[in-house]
Structure 1
Amino acid sequence: MRAMSTDGFEGGWRDRKRSLWILGLIAPACALLPSQLVMLTGLELFWWIGPLVVFVAIPILDIVVGDDGANVPESDYERISDDRFYRWCTYLFLPILLSGLLVSSYLWAGTGLSVLDKIGLAVTVGLISGIGINAAHELGHRAEKHERWLAKVALAQSGYGHFFVEHNRGHHVRVATPPDPASSRYGESLWRFLPRSISGGFRSALKLEAEQLARKGKPWFSIRNNILQAWAMSAVLFGTLIAVFGIEIAPYLLLQAVIAFTMLETVNYVEHYGLMREQLPNGRYERTAPRHSWNSDRLVTNVFLFHLQRHSDHHANPGRRYQTLRSCDEAPQLPAGYATMIVYAMIPPLWRAIMNPRVRAHYNGDLTRANLAPRYRARIEATGKGLENAA
């Protein structure tokens, strides 16, 4: 008799981290843990458990555990892709995420917490909601109608429903080109990138959805409008919570939403910094290739972000489910996992010291091939040194 593999199939390739994907649910559970941990330990620091997990624990575990290195063989692709266990890991993310928001709203409305503690809880909830946008990202790429609706549900907590349109029909088309607001430029700090990406993505989503509705002969104010559908979910969610717990929770709902989409945009900043697709003589850009996304294969962050770090394969094959995304040797590699790189990005001098040399090396010192910030390009050209000799 042939031995059964741990994923329940006879023979074939065995996904050794299959059971680890359940650990990804620790992220949304972090919004449920603070009150319990504070009660058990008396340490009010645990209201801030979100930053502790995302910016301290995960980067340390990335170093300790190391790289992933496992790719699904093509011969087993269909079997692993069709395994519904992996889908339920993303489905279960949503009720846990929304339960955390419900409990937090109760605590924000109460008098037992100081304003500082409530802010800490809002920061925790916001970071978890940001990871929830990543779950929405995974679901939003699926062809199944119910999963696309779940993506909008996952975006409701952050109020960032237009991401559903902009990411799929905007970013994936324009990635690693100057017109893409979500592709960061060499020499552009995170703090300059954020307002450009947030406002540019919003405008792009409105334009893209209006064009699609027009092609279908539908008006903007239509039940078919994906953006209005997503925004309606946010309005219902926030309106219900405020009706139940009181208007005093509104500032904390707003704060957690801002933190959530800021985290999403910070990940965008990391993913394509300085990378550029070549513009062809006909004005179009070359096809997206592995060299146009920064990758990392740290195991712990892979699990928490559903393989988002295998970003090159995602752009090459957006229809692939997260469990089948492959690590690619051709892709430029980050020195650490995404969780760590987010911290570096928040400190522009440190980010430039780490990443600018990598971009230059990626293009063999020729920055004419990189996606440059206009201010940076002008400053370099003013020196008369030329882009090829720029630091």
Structure 2
Amino acid sequence: MSAEAAWRDKKRYLWLMGLIAPTALFIALPIVGAMNRLGWHLAAQLPFWIGPILVYLLLPALDLRFGADGQNPPDEVMAQLEDDRYYRYCTYAYIPCQYASVVLGAYLFTATDLSWLGVEGSLSWFAKIGLALSVGALGGVGINTAHELGHKKVQLERWLSKITLAQSCYGHFYIEHNRGHHVRVATPEDPASGRFGETFWEFLPRSVFGGLRSAWELETARLRRLDKGPWRLTNDVLNAWLMSVVLWGVLIAVFGPVLIPFVVIQAVYGFSLLESVNYIEHYGLLRRTRANGRYERCTPEHSWNSDHLVTNLFLYHLQRHSDHHANPTRRYQTLRSMAESPNLPSGYASLIGLTYFPPLWRALMDHRVLAHYDGDITRVNISPRRRTKILARYGATEPAVA
């Protein structure tokens, strides 16, 4: 029996779980209605928080229950698996579900008569904040869907990537991630690589504004090579941002300025989820500098890996990040968990919440970073602000300059 015939992707139909995030709001509404009919009006506000509940509670619990995946596709099936269009249709389906939920969320946030849900008048602010965060959560997961699509060579998928990013107003990610982050990953120059000793709250503004600035510079440089200025629609940063302006401009025109807090909350929460994952993926990891002054090639050892099954199903194997950086255009279904990569103690969903609490994060991760480099703190990507203190803490000094 051939390897192609013997091997089957056990997760083939489980990839449809990726559609839970963009449809969660639709799932929550019947629950809200049932709870209101039972007279549980206060508790009926909780389902509007389905996004944070999914991110911080349900996914970590499921990762703990089901553990690691352990299945890697063999070499013999890679080409066939890569060409199987079913997998790309799973990602395409995310987008209409995403925007149906965005419109539903905008309606619920601004509606003044929700009697059909058993709500008197409009939603409470507690429910509205939960609603905005839930729509933001699906936008954050949507950035990951855009990440999968944006790496591909098919022009349709690249445009779908920018459309998906429009909700979170993060269209510049399409440029910065592909042409910035993948070039500078695990170096001090990369705004999206977390540094040892740097808290998430320090990393967040550095990555957000550093990524935005980098995207603009990269796209401006590309256009200048074509003897063109940056202020044109062929600028992929501008046309991606324009999609956000059109999307939210239309929705604000339809639902009124009262929608503006919803726009801000969901966008900030959505891209903060992405940045939390960015912080996790390369925390403390550093590529060595060669004798010629250039960094060594990015290898699997420069990305934290996780093979926890459930979060991988929701994030299209994003946690097999080491293979992704080694093979950026490889489709999610063919990514492998690599033995030589450093491994996280759990899935991203379990770790995102910990990044908000620096002492807990450092207690969990700092010793793992050090162990990855055999105890040599000088090989770590250290926060410049704390470099002297961290080196002294571990009894090290600055390496000599050749």
TM over 0.5: yes
Mean CA deviation greater in 240-249 or 27-36: 27-36
**Alignment partner of 1:250 is 2:250:** no
Cα drift, residue 382 of structure 1: 5.9
1:27 equivalent in structure 2: 21
Partner of 1:267: 277
RMSD: 1.6
Q: 1:31 touches 1:97 (CA, 8 Å); kept in 2?
A: no
Task: Tell me what 1:82 maps to.
Answer: 83
| Aligned counterpart, 2:5 | 11
Per-residue deviation, 1:171: 0.1
Q: Distance between the aligned counterparts of 1:245 and 1:81, measured in 2? A: 42
- Which residue of 2 is the match for residue 53 of structure 1? 54
Q: How many Å separate the matches in 2 of 1:31 and 1:322? A: 26
Is 2:299 the counterpart of 1:293?
no
Asked if the contact 1:380–1:387 (Cα under 8 Å) also holds between the matched residues in 2, the reply is no
- Candidates 140, 158, 167, aligned match of 2:177: 167
1:214 aligns with 2:224: yes
8 Å Cα contact 1:366/1:387 also seen in 2? no
Q: 1:380 to 1:14 in 2, by over 3 A?
A: closer
In structure 2, relative to structure 1, the CA distance for the partners of 1:276 and 1:384 (3 Å cut) is closer
1:86, CA displacement in angstroms?
A: 0.4
Cα distance per residue 1:224-243 (max 9 Å; x no partner): 11111111110110001011
Structure 2: state its 5+ residue gaps.
37-43, 113-121
Question: Which digits, 9 at most, give the CA deviation of each residue in 1:132-176, with x for residues without a partner?
Answer: 000000000000000000000000000000000000000000000
2:378–2:391 contact (8 Å) kept in structure 1: no
Alignment partner of 1:358 is 2:368: yes
Partner residue, 1:117: 127
Q: Does 1:315 align with 2:316?
A: no
Q: Offset of 1:357 from its aligned partner?
A: 0.5
Question: Which segment drifts farther, 318-327 or 69-78?
Answer: 69-78
Aligned to 2:191: 181
How many Å apart are 1:385 and its aligned residue? Answer: 3.1
Return the alpha-carbon distance in structure 2 between the equivalents of residues 322 and 40 of structure 1. Answer: 38
Contact 2:45 2:126 in 1 (8 A): no
- 8 Å CA contact 1:189–1:348 kept in 2: the answer is yes
TM-superposed CA distance for 1:387, in Å, is 5.2
Alignment partner of 1:152 is 2:159: no
What is the SS of the residue equivalent to 2:168? coil
Contact 2:311–2:349, Cα closer than 8 Å, also in 1:
yes
Q: Please give the TM-score of this superposition, normalised by the length of structure 1.
A: 0.95
Distance in 1, Cα, partners of 2:350 & 2:302? 20
Q: 1:117–1:329: structure 2 CA closer, same or farther, 3 Å change rule?
A: same
Q: Tell me the distance in 1 between the aligned counterparts of 2:213 and 2:249.
A: 25
The TM-score with structure 2 as length reference comes to 0.92
- Using the TM superposition, give the Cα deviation of residue 33 of structure 1 relative to its aligned residue in structure 2, in angstroms: 2.8
1:303 corresponds to which residue?
Answer: 313
Q: In 1, Cα distance between the equivalents of 2:363 and 2:221?
A: 42
Amino acid at match of 1:155: L
Whether the aligned pair in 1 keeps the contact of 2:151 and 2:329 (CA below 8 Å) is yes
Contact 1:130 1:260 in 2 (8 A): yes
In structure 1, give the amino acid aligned to 2:96. P
CA separation in 2, counterparts of 1:234 and 1:12? 46
Does 2:75 align with 1:65?
Answer: no
How many residues of Structure 1 are paired with residues of Structure 2 in the alignment? 382
Asked if 1 retains the 8 angstrom alpha-carbon contact of 2:194 and 2:203, the reply is yes
- CA deviations 1:309-357 (Å, max 9, x no partner) are 0000000000100000000000000000011011111111110001000
Q: 1:218: how far off?
A: 1.9
| 1:139 to 2:140 alignment | no
Structure-2 separation of matches of 1:273 and 1:384:
18
The alpha-carbon distance between structure 1 residues 113 and 286, as it changes in their structure 2 partners (threshold 3 A), is same
1:41 aligns with 2:31: no
**Distance in 1 (alpha carbons) for counterparts of 2:143 and 2:394:** 44
Q: How much has 1:32 moved relative to structure 2?
A: 2.5
Q: Where do 1:236-247 residues align within 5 Å?
A: 236-247=246-257
Letter in 1 for 2:389: R
Residue of structure 1 in register with 2:388 after alignment: 378
**Structure 2 residue identity aligned to 1:243:** A
Contact 1:31-1:101 within 8 A present in 2 as well:
no
1:223 to 217, 229, 233: 233
Cα distance in 1 for partners of 2:242, 2:225 equals: 23
Structure 2 residue aligned with 1:281: 291
In 2, Cα distance between equivalents of 1:86 and 1:385: 50
Q: What stretches of structure 1 move > 6 A for 4+ residues in a row?
A: none
What is the rounded CA distance, in whole Å, between the counterparts of 1:153 and 1:228 in structure 2? 13
| Contact 1:90–1:135 (8 Å) recurs in 2 | yes
Contact 2:68 2:309 in 1 (8 A): yes
**Is the CA contact (8 Å cut-off) linking 2:378 and 2:396 kept in structure 1?**
no
CA distance in 2: counterparts of 1:345 and 1:135, whole angstroms: 22
Secondary structure of the residue aligned to 2:353 is helix
Equivalent residue in structure 2 for 1:126, among 136, 149, 158: 136
Q: Which shows bigger deviation, 249-258 or 371-380?
A: 371-380
